[in-house]
Amino acid sequence: MKVITTPQEMQALAQTWRVDGLIVGLVPTMGWFHEGHLSLMRKAREITDKVIVSLFVNPMQFGPTEDLDNYPHDLERDRKLADAESVDVLYAPDASAMYPVEFKTSVHVHGLTSGLCGGDRPGHFDGVTTVVAKLFNQTLPHIAVFGEKDFQQLAVIRQMVRDLDFPIEIIGHPIVREESGLAMSSRNTYLKENEMEAALSLSKSIAHARMLVEKKETISPDQIKEEVRGIILQHSQCAIDYVEIVDQTSLQSCEQVTGESVLVLAVKINQRIRLIDNSTLIGN
């Protein structure tokens, strides 16, 4: 596996692959790989000829009070894990290469970014869309694979790709969970042992919501959200950022539960660790 650190070298290699008729896949990450990341790499490996995994902790998507300085990172650890998944390139540029002194551009997707995580983290999605647009131009993928845990992010990226005519297929890959049900996240490393039950309230409340929909012929989104909030707030360590049931494309609140409805959650544990999770309420 090759490690590349400059946009120029990455773009030149990607252009060579495309000229040779190879299908290029990209898995964008911020590193500290876990099984969720590795599953994205495997998916990309299945459907492309060349796999690029980007590793860049993007300062543009962190707010001034967020955990940029403490975000876990270990390039050598991640290099070994990516290499074991037969990744072709680990692309790990530094911030000065991505955002040189004269950098003055951002990408903004209207509407989809205003609520949910965008409401609690102003400017976050501008950072996401800007860095992803740059990564697309630097790696020139035919296909990009994103995890469905960051559900709003996935919807925003799909909208950006449509609006800006990127010739890229966006593939969402299902959430990977711990045996306990906890959605895998790099931020799980922050959790202390006495915070685990509080963290598990997200996946437990999702399972309860799905059970409610399965057992009751008619149940309103408001009833489901009330019960979900009750399960989470049984834990004094939990503070809810949001509990919503939204349409999976528009992210607008649902007036009734359908196959397009997604329960989305964001919860802070002891005001230190922000966890998100989501699930459809009907079907898989």
| Coil, strand or helix at 73 | coil
DSSP 89-152: EEE---HHHHS-TT-------TTTTSSTHHHHSTTHHHHHHHHHHHHHHHH--SEEEEETTSHH
Q: Indicate if 37 belongs to the active site.
A: yes
d(CA 273, CA 189): 10
CA triple 187-191-197, angle to 5 deg = 120
The one catalytic residue among 37, 124, 142, 173: 37
Q: Given strand 143-147, what is the order of strands in its sheet?
A: 2-4, 89-91, 50-55, 24-29, 143-147, 169-173
CA triple 126-152-201, angle to 5 deg = 125
Q: Would you please indicate which residues are annotated as catalytic (active-site) residues? A: 37
